[in-house]
Amino acid sequence: MPLLPEESLPYFENLIYLPMVLTILERDRLIMEKSPFKLKRPYMHLMDHAIKEAQQKLKESKQYARNHRMQLLKGTHDDTFTEYVFNYNGFEDRRRYLNVRLRNRVEELIAIYLGEVKQA
């Protein structure tokens, strides 16, 4: 049996990526709020919906982590890699993520969350 069950990996990765997604979306929303857009409301709705969806997914992932005794810790990082420590049921798994991969995945997730908005 592997130390880290395959079904837990998406939750661990949500705990890595979603805080970054939320930070960027919230910062961009503030910039948009102050910008001279003539009709801001559609853009603000889009941003608010994306933030709400990402927050809900993060909440679900945190709940799953609590229920399954999972913990994510940020390890060392440099210009190329960031290390994360996945603790699961007393076992520790260290994984290194290429910073470019982190950035690209966050960008993909932002596009997904912004694309999920349906017409009101």
Give the tens place of pLDDT for each residue, 72-84.
999 999 999 999 9
Domain of residue 30: give its range: 6-115
Residue 111 lies in a domain: yes
- Residue 45: CB partners within 8 Å, gap ≥ 6? 117, 120
Residue 1 lies in a domain: no
d(CA 92, CA 69): 12
**Once rounded to an integer, what is the mean pLDDT over residues 83-107?**
95
Residue 25 lies in a domain: yes
Q: For all residues of the chain together, what is the average pLDDT?
A: 92
pLDDT of the residue at 118: 52
pLDDT of the residue at 38: 86
- Number of domains into which the chain is organized: 1
Residue 99 lies in a domain: yes
pLDDT of the residue at 5: 85
Is this prediction's pTM over 0.75? yes
Residue 73 lies in a domain: yes
